[in-house]
A = this chain, B = another copy of it.
């Protein structure tokens, strides 16, 4: 387990140039923090400087628990928005799933091998299908008591999950979440949509793709916001199809895409590699 910390931050470009960048570096170096990785991004069109810093906590002069207290004056001076994450913290993850369990099976396998460093604290579903898989991986499984009642199900999930969660993964969860539910977990819900967004929003995207006769199909992982399929895109990928591919072939090819774009998004979120601003993501991968 690495003993490092990650700082994700953003600041207006003029302040970044007038010393913010140098001040942050200085802040870490003077406290004996060896910078292991630094990734910057300057978005001129939106006037923002964004950065991901990872440094060694071995020998760092101040305990990470008091970092914010020391860093706050600097953050205020340069109007820095930031998120601090010690890498020895294992984020808590909840997975929601319905009848299609390929993404769930894929995530649990990656979890079992340590590729995804987190605790999957529970799986919640409106179908019983995924229960044996959950048990095989030793993860608690909760079947929603009234799966037909959407409002009641959300109430039940809110209670089950609570606020002590770092990420909710919709692993092909086939219910549209209400803005109220989403609002409780802002930028903490990742969904996979089985199309190359913004093409084919809504239901049955592979059928739509088949009808339109596209030559590539895609999948998209994104943060969930109040507006369906409109949240910040984290990752996308595509695969070639031809006239020989039926809708079933597209479904099959698409499953492999969905697994991969969702797994990448989850890993990047867990490793604090994603910055969101103005409905877009910066992924420091």
Contact = CB atoms under 8 A, between A and B. Distances in A.
Interface of A: 16-17, 19, 21-22, 25-26, 29, 34-45, 56, 102, 105-106, 109, 113, 115, 132, 136, 196-200, 210, 212-216, 218, 232-238, 240, 242-244, 246-247, 252, 256, 260, 279-283, 285
Contacts of A17: 34-35, 56
Contacts of A242: 283
Nearest to A243: B282
B41 A244 contact: yes
A21 B25 CA distance: 8
A280 B26 contact: no
A213 B198 contact: no
A109 B105 contact: yes
Contact of A256 (B16, B234, B260, B285): B260
Contacts of A42: 36-37
A243 B38 contact: no
B113 A109 contact: no
A238 B238 contact: yes
